[in-house]
Homo-oligomer: A and B are copies of this chain.
Amino acid sequence: MTEEQPNPALLPAGLADLLPPDAEREAALVEALMGVFATHGYDRVKPPLLEFEDSLLAGSGAAVAEQTFRLMDPVSQRMMGLRADTTPQVARIAATRLGGVPRPLRLSYAGQALRVRGTELAPERQTAQAGIEVIGGMAPEADAEVAVVTAEALAAVGVSGFSLDVTLPTMTPALLDAAGLSGTEANRLARALDRKDAAAVASLAAGRGPVAALLPGLLEAAGPADRALAALAAADLPPGPRAIAENAAAVVRAIQAAAPTLRVTLDPLEFRGFQYHVGVAFTVYGPGRSGELARGGRYLSQADEPATGMTLYPDAVRRAAAPAPRRARVFIPLGGDRAAAARLRGQGYATVAALSATDTPQALACTHILRGEEAAPIQE
């Protein structure tokens, strides 16, 4: 009888190895994105992967509380969490160690985040994140900047054909409230809006007064930002929703001024998936069906300090970007000319040294071989 051993190649669901050349490519993309952020004055911070759960899950962190792995700290006997999102940590840094730095404070970060369970559509439980936050101030220019800098960073790493979708997660609740709807009635309408079920929205809104009567038209208005903003401007909105619409218009105008070729869409009544956003929210969609490249928007940082930001997903960015060309590899025979090898590395070649007499250029996946002082291509 043989004992069944777990397959050592088997990783837990949603956790994966990134192999060559993808791991190098992802790292290069992260640093290229971070480099663009730095040229716009975003200063990098690196919070630890683990911290006490009461600080990790405070504020916007509450939205990921159920998705956070917990560990007992044997040193302090207190519970720690393994971060599921970096934004709450940046909020903590901004409020404490950088609490005395004048606002607006621009910070950036890159690292891994882990969550307890994946979903059917997004099974991965470890996700690389690279992001920016502007902490302090309510200016629509801040929201526009995080969107524009994100677009510039994506373009800098060779991603094209992406679009920015703007949503207003507080609009639907504000309209339902202004319409005097609550309880079951409001929930039914919210669900119908969430499903984009125009017939159900029309039927549930009928006879519920002038504010509810706006809902079918605003649901219809989703699409290119100019058309959606025109619909919002034309609608007879009560004061709360009006302020949300005017702020959205200011953000979109600032984005369009800075990035005139960026495709911007606006869905005024969409609210799903933005759990802690208080103003505009952003989703950057990749070309074709390559999925979400980034998410962000306006939120309240620690002690309700206004903030806005964007998180990019380097794994999705890598799939949307062109693959990096592979480096030419030059085989250096045992005892080969070290100085020549160093010069070739300086020219961008990888040099791969034989370590024993049995090593061959083929086994070491070399494309070239050192001949004299030059890299000679290996004939197939």
Contact = CB atoms under 8 A, between A and B. Distances in A.
Interface of A: 6, 8-24, 26-28, 31, 34, 38-41, 43-52, 54-55, 58, 69, 71, 73-76, 78, 80, 82, 89, 92-93, 95-98, 102-104, 106-107, 109-112, 114, 116-117, 125-126, 134, 137, 139, 141-142, 145, 258, 302, 327, 329, 334, 338, 345, 349-353, 355-356, 359, 362-365
A7 to B, nearest CB: 8
Q: How many copies of this kind of chain does the complex include?
A: 2
Contacts of A134: 355
A353 B141 contact: yes
Contacts of A356: 137, 139, 141
A374 B50 CA distance: 44
Contacts of A145: 353, 355
A148 to B, nearest CB: 10
B75 A19 contact: no
A6 B95 CA distance: 15
Contact of A44 (B27, B104, B329, B351): B27
Contacts of A93: 17, 19
Contact of A10 (B8, B52, B141): B52
Given A20-B107, A145-B353, 8 more contacts: A8-B58, A11-B52, A20-B45, A23-B45, A48-B126, A104-B359, A139-B355, A141-B356
A355 B104 contact: yes
A46 B23 contact: yes
Contact of A364 (B41, B49, B112): B41
Contacts of A78: 6, 12
B50 A12 contact: yes
A137 B357 CA distance: 11
A54 to B, nearest CB: 6
Contacts of A104: 355, 359, 364
Nearest to A26: B46
- Among A8, A76, A116, which residue has the most Cβ atoms of chain B within 10 A? A8
A77 B10 CA distance: 14
Contact of A355 (B13, B109, B142): B142
Given A102-B363, A350-B41, A15 B126 contact: no
A362 B106 CA distance: 14
Query: Across chains A and B, which 9 residue pairs bring their CB atoms closest together, nearest first?
Result: A41-B352, A20-B43, A102-B363, A9-B96, A18-B46, A23-B46, A15-B48, A24-B44, A39-B345
A251 to B, nearest CB: 12
A351 B8 contact: no
Nearest to A73: B12
Contacts of A107: 20
7 contacts: A8-B54, A21-B44, A26-B46, A40-B353, A41-B352, A142-B355, A258-B338
Contacts of A46: 17-18, 22-23, 26-27
- Among A44, A125, A142, which residue has the most Cβ atoms of chain B within 10 A? A44
A12 B71 CA distance: 12
Nearest to A90: B17
Given A23-B45, A351-B41, A353-B145, A12 B96 contact: no
